[in-house]
Amino acid sequence: MSATPELSIVIPVYNEELNLPTLFARLYPVLDAIGRSYEVVFTNDGSADRSIELLKAQFAARPDVTRVIDFNSNYGQHMAIMAAFERVRGTVIVTLDADLQNPPEEIPKLLEKIDAGHDYVGGYRLDRQDSLFRTWASRLINIVREHTTNIEMTDQGCMLRAYRRPIIEAIVHSGAINTFIPALAYSFSSNPAEVGVKHEERHAGASNYSVYKLIRLNFDLVTGFSIAPLQYFTMFAMACCAGSALFVLVLAIRRLFFDYTAAEGLFTLFGVLFFLMSVALLGIGLIGEYVGRTYQVVRARQRYFIKEVHERKE
Ligand code: UDP
Ligand code: MG
């Protein structure tokens, strides 16, 4: 393995035993054909299946270009990528998924853009092959992201992306916890570009993202990159205050000058109260989200634990 290959491929792996053989069979020929020196860095993110055995076998078969990082437990896709970023040696780094939703055959497309001088190339999925729910939820979160952060990208969920080394170094240096790698990379890029890439159905198995994990991930995207939600919330609270003050004034005038005593409108009042109460709860939750993030940063515990690294010693 060359000490500084031209290309590093980073792949997070979580319970992908059914996909790995096909991934190996398709990925390595593509890389060999590109004709640049390369390494492939896999992170086994605490898989409960035979993924690590398959990765070790691949390391045994291609020790010159394969490195395997083995986590002791599951820390999530973005931390798995982060651990690989801390160890990659390439000048250009490419991330992709292990389930073949990002066809390895599309990698040269990204490299073309990098060669054209861009420091960060994001893929966006052409003809996305996911459930309606996922596609629809992505669109919604796209809109939220556009209004709360200054991150501009067509498809934040696509992990087929290429980065020049300085971007990766900035990401590693940031020490970010619970982060969203494509957005973090964007914030360090000075010359980003996008390119349409094919998207395939998951080769085998089911998505590793439950609805809960998806919600958490998207919180990482929105509250991890801006405090605009807090500011919007405060603005909305101010509007509520102004509205309530006006309401009280109208009631007082009615009571004082029009001798109005009937106790009507009780349920309207309940409606207004319930509404305001839910707004208050939402606010507490939102503040909790930021306090939790602060806590994690202050606690400064290691973000993941590596059990073992399988790579050829220099
Ligand atoms: N992944 C991971 N850790 C996790 C969840 C996913 O390393 O906790 C990996 C997974 O093996 C795959 C990639 O991240 O390579 C994308 O996961 P998945 O296909 O489940 O997500 P989806 O395509 O449904 O967004
Ligand atoms: Mg997938």
- DSSP code for 254: H
More confident residue, 133 or 38: 38
pLDDT(293) > 60:
yes
Question: What is the structure's pLDDT at 262?
Answer: 60
pLDDT(33) > 70:
yes
> What does residue 244 show for φ and ψ, rounded to 5 degrees?
-65, -40
CA 75/CA 297 separation, integer angstroms: 16
Closest atom of ligand 1 to 81 CA is 7
pTM of the model: 0.87
Name the helix (H) or strand (E) containing 197: strand 192-198
Instruction: Pick the range with the lowest mean pLDDT from 39-43, 72-76, 178-182, 188-192.
Output: 178-182
CB of 97 closer than 6 angstroms to any ligand 1 atom: yes
Closest CA to 49 of 27, 28, 19, 78: 19
CB of 220 closer than 6 angstroms to any ligand 1 atom: no
Amino acid residing at 107: I
Report residue 297's pLDDT band, with 50, 70 and 90 as the boundaries.
confident
pLDDT(1) > 60:
no
CB of 83 closer than 6 angstroms to any ligand 1 atom: no
CB of 37 closer than 6 angstroms to any ligand 1 atom: no
CB of 155 closer than 6 angstroms to any ligand 1 atom: no
pLDDT(272) > 90:
no
Atom 8 of ligand 1, nearest CA residue? 76
- Give mean pLDDT, residues 222-239: 89
pLDDT(302) > 80:
yes
Instruction: Pick the range with the lowest mean pLDDT from 56-70, 148-162, 171-185, 211-225.
Output: 211-225
CB of 207 closer than 6 angstroms to any ligand 1 atom: yes
92-95 and 38-44 as β-strands: parallel, antiparallel, unpaired? unpaired
CA of 208 to the centre of ligand 2 (A): 8
Report residue 273's pLDDT band, with 50, 70 and 90 as the boundaries.
confident
- Helical residues (DSSP H) of 181-308, grouped into ranges: 181-188, 211-222, 228-257, 266-299
Are 44 and 308 spatial neighbours (Cβ–Cβ below 8 Å)? no
Atom 17 of ligand 1, nearest CA residue? 208
CB of 101 closer than 6 angstroms to any ligand 1 atom: yes
pLDDT(314) > 90:
no
- Ligand 1 mutation target, pool 41, 77, 200, most atoms within 8 A of CB: 77
CA 101/CA 159 separation, integer angstroms: 10
More confident residue, 301 or 155: 155
Q: pLDDT tens, 175-207?
A: 888 889 999 999 999 999 999 999 999 999 999
Superfamily for the 7-206+303-310 domain: Spore Coat Polysaccharide Biosynthesis Protein SpsA; Chain A (3.90.550.10)
- Contacts for 250 with CB less than 8 Å, ≥ 6 apart: none
> What does residue 275 show for φ and ψ, rounded to 5 degrees?
-60, -50
Q: Identify which ligand lies nearest to the alpha carbon of 96.
A: 1
Closest CA to 97 of 118, 80, 119, 109: 80
CB of 17 closer than 6 angstroms to any ligand 1 atom: no
Atom 23 of ligand 1, nearest CA residue? 207
CB of 156 closer than 6 angstroms to any ligand 1 atom: no
CA of 97 to the centre of ligand 2 (A): 6
Average pLDDT, the chain: 92
DSSP string of 66-87? EEEEEESS---HHHHHHHHHTT
Q: Which residues surround ligand 2, an ion (CB under 5 A)?
A: 99, 101
Instruction: Pick the range with the lowest mean pLDDT from 53-67, 126-140, 155-169, 262-276.
Output: 262-276
pLDDT(308) > 80:
yes
pLDDT(132) > 70:
yes
Name the β-bridge partners of 42: 11, 68
CB-count exposure of residue 116 (10 Å: 0-12, 13-18, 19+): exposed
Write down how long the chain is. 314
3-state secondary structure 17-69: CCCHHHHHHHHHHHHHHHCCCEEEEEEECCCCCCHHHHHHHHHHHCCCCEEEE
CA 46/CA 145 separation, integer angstroms: 30
3-state secondary structure 155-183: CCCCCCEEEEHHHHHHHHHHCCCCCCHHH
Measure the CA angle with vertex 38, ends 33 and 40; round to 5°: 105
CA of 217 to the centre of ligand 2 (A): 14
Question: What is the structure's pLDDT at 263?
Answer: 64
Instruction: Pick the range with the lowest mean pLDDT from 224-238, 262-276, 291-305.
Output: 262-276
Question: What is the structure's pLDDT at 178?
Answer: 83
